[in-house]
Amino acid sequence: MAQILDAAVPSAIRQAAACIQAGGVVAFPTETVYGLGADALNERAVAQVFAIKQRPAFDPLIVHIAQVGAVSRYASGIDGRARVLMQRCWPGPLTLVLPKQPVIPALVTAGLGTVGLRMPAHPVALSLLRAAGTPIAAPSANPFGYVSPTTAQHVQDTLGEKIELILDGGPCPVGLESTVCALSGEEAVVLRPGGLSVEEIEALIGPVRLPASTDADPRSPGTLPQHYAPRVRLTLLAPGQAIPLPSPRERVGLLSFRPVPAADAYTRHEALSAEGDVLEAATNLFAALHRFDRLGLDRLVVEAVPEQGLGRAIMDRLRRAAARGAD
Four-CA torsion 230, 234, 236, 242, nearest 10 degrees: -130
Which residue, among 110, 46, 104, 108, has the nearest Cα to 76 in the 3D structure? 104
Other CB atoms within 10 Å distance of the CB of residue 5: 20
Tell me how far, at minimum, the Cβ of 302 lies from ligand AMP, in Å.
Answer: 20
Which residue, among 33, 291, 12, 21, has the nearest Cα to 179 in the 3D structure? 33
114 has which bridge partners? 99
97 binds ligand AMP (CB under 6 A): yes
Q: Which one of 37, 60, 135, 145 is in contact with ligand AMP (CB under 6 A)?
A: 60
Site pattern 121..140 for ligand AMP (x: CB under 6 A): ------------------xx
3-state secondary structure of 299: strand
Q: Which residues, 6+ apart, have CB-to-CB distance to 209 below 8 Å?
A: 187, 188, 189, 190
Other CB atoms within 10 Å distance of the CB of residue 204: 13
179 binds Mg ion (CB under 5 A): no
Question: Where does this chain touch ligand AMP (CB under 6 A) — which range of 57-65, 81-89, 165-173, 307-315?
Answer: 57-65
Site pattern 5..34 for ligand AMP (x: CB under 6 A): ------------------------------
3-state secondary structure of 189: strand
Q: Please classify residue 95 by burial: count the beta carbons closer than 10 Å to its beta carbon, then call 0-12 exposed, 13-18 middle and 19+ buried.
A: buried
Tell me how far, at minimum, the Cβ of 57 lies from ligand AMP, in Å.
Answer: 12
Of 49 and 271, the one with the shorter C-beta distance to ligand AMP is 49
95 binds Mg ion (CB under 5 A): no
Question: Where does this chain touch Mg ion (CB under 5 A) — which range of 55-63, 133-141, 253-261, 291-299?
Answer: 133-141
List the interface residues with ligand AMP, window 156-185 (CB under 6 A). Answer: 177, 180
Query: What residues make contact with ligand AMP under the rule CB under 6 A?
Result: 59-60, 62, 97, 109, 112, 114-116, 139-140, 177, 180, 191-192, 219-223
Q: Note the residues at the interface with Mg ion (CB under 5 A).
A: 140
